C-alpha cells in the first residue's frame, strides 16, 4: 500500500546509483523529500542510502544490459510506488582507443550499455508514463559529442546515438505530457575514470603518442594530479532544477568546459556551412531552384 506521503512526492528511477552522477543525484533528491528507486548492478553499494531514507527508497539490482533485470526493476518500482515520474538513464561506461584497434566485442559492449540498455529501459518505462500522462526523462549524454577527440570515437558514437533517439523521442511523447532532456556534462569529479573507463592499448607505433597522452591524463586524474572542475553535487542540483521547470531544456550543458566546447563546435559548424553554402545549394534540381526564385519574386 502506497502511503500518502509517498504519493505527494515524485518518484525517481535512476540507473547506476552506485557511481558517477547517479549517487549524488539520488542523495540530493532524497534530501529534498523525493522518492528514489536506487538501481545498481550491486545494490549493496546503495544500501546506506536506503537505510537513511527507508520510507522513500527501493534498492533494486539492475544491469541495464540484461533485459530480464530491466523488466523486474521497473515492475518492482511500480508495485512499490505506483508510478515513475522521473527516469534518469545514468548508467554508462567508456571504451577509449584507436578505431583501428578497438575490438568488435568492445564496441558492441559499449553500445549495449550506453545505447541499447537505455533503449530497453525507455521502452519498458514509457507505457507507464503514457498511462499517467506525465513524466520527465533525463538521458545522460556528454559534451564530448561536440568535440570529437581522438581516441574517443566509440564512446562518442554511442552517446550520439543516444542523442539521436532522445530528440525524436521528445517529439513523439510531448503530447502525452512527457518531457525529455539530454544532459551534456563536461568533466566532473566523479569516480567515472576509476570505475567506468577502459583504455585499449595501441600496438601501432603511429598512434602511440595519442594513446600515451590519453593514458597519462587518466593516470593523473586517478592520482588527483589533475583536479577535474565539475562538482557532481552542483550537477545534481542543475538536473533537479530542469525537472522542476515548466519549460525544461531539450539539451542541458553542465560545466563551464561543456559550454565552451559546445559554443566552439557550433561556431565551427556554422563556419563550414557558410564557407560551402554555394556548393551545398547547387545540388537541387534546376526546376526546383527556378520555382523557389519565382515564388520569392511574386512575394
The residues carrying an active-site annotation are 141, 155, 159
Q: How far apart are CA 150 and CA 159, in angstroms?
A: 15
Best CA proximity match to 29, nearest among 116, 90, 75, 70: 90
CA distance 137 to 281: 37
| Total residue count of the chain as it appears in this document | 299
Residues 6+ apart with CB under 8 A from 262: 143, 146, 184, 253
Amino acid at each position: 500500500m502506497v502511503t500518502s506521503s509517498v504519493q505527494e512526492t515524485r518518484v525517481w528511477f535512476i540507473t547506476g546509483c552506485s557511481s558517477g552522477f547517479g549517487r549524488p543525484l539520488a542523495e540530493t533528491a532524497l534530501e529534498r523529500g523525493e522518492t528514489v528507486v536506487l538501481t545498481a548492478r550491486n545494490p549493496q553499494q546503495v544500501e546506506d542510502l536506503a537505510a537513511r531514507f527507508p520510507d522513500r527508497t527501493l534498492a533494486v539490482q539492475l544491469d541495464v544490459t540484461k533485459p530480464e533485470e530491466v523488466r523486474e526493476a521497473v515492475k518492482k518500482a511500480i508495485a512499490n510506488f505506483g508510478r515513475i515520474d522521473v527516469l534518469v538513464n545514468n548508467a554508462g561506461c567508456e571504451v577509449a582507443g584507436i578505431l583501428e584497434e578497438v575490438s568488435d566485442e568492445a564496441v558492441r559492449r559499449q553500445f549495449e550499455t550506453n545505447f541499447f540498455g537505455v533503449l530497453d529501459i525507455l521502452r519498458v518505462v514509457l507505457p507507464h508514463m503514457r498511462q499517467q500522462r506525465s513524466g520527465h526523462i533525463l538521458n545522460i549524454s556528454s559534451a564530448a559529442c561536440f568535440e570529437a577527440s581522438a581516441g574517443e570515437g566509440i564512446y562518442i558514437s554511442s552517446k550520439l546515438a543516444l542523442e539521436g533517439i532522445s530528440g525524436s523521442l521528445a517529439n513523439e511523447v510531448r503530447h502525452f505530457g512527457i518531457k525529455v532532456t539530454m544532459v551534456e556534462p563536461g568533466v566532473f569529479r566523479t569516480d567515472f575514470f576509476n570505475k567506468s573507463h577502459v583504455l585499449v592499448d595501441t600496438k601501432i607505433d603511429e598512434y602511440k603518442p595519442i594513446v600515451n597522452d590519453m593514458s597519462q591524463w587518466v593516470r593523473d586524474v586517478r592520482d588527483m594530479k589533475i583536479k577535474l572542475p565539475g562538482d557532481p553535487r552542483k550537477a545534481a542540483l542543475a538536473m533537479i532544477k530542469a525537472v522542476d521547470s515548466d519549460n525544461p531544456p531539450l539539451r542541458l550543458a553542465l560545466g563551464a568546459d561543456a559550454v565552451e566546447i559546445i559554443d566552439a563546435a557550433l561556431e565551427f559548424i556554422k563556419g563550414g556551412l557558410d564557407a560551402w553554402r554555394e556548393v551545398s545549394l547547387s545540388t537541387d534540381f534546376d526546376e526546383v531552384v527556378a520555382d523557389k526564385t519565382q515564388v520569392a519574386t511574386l512575394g
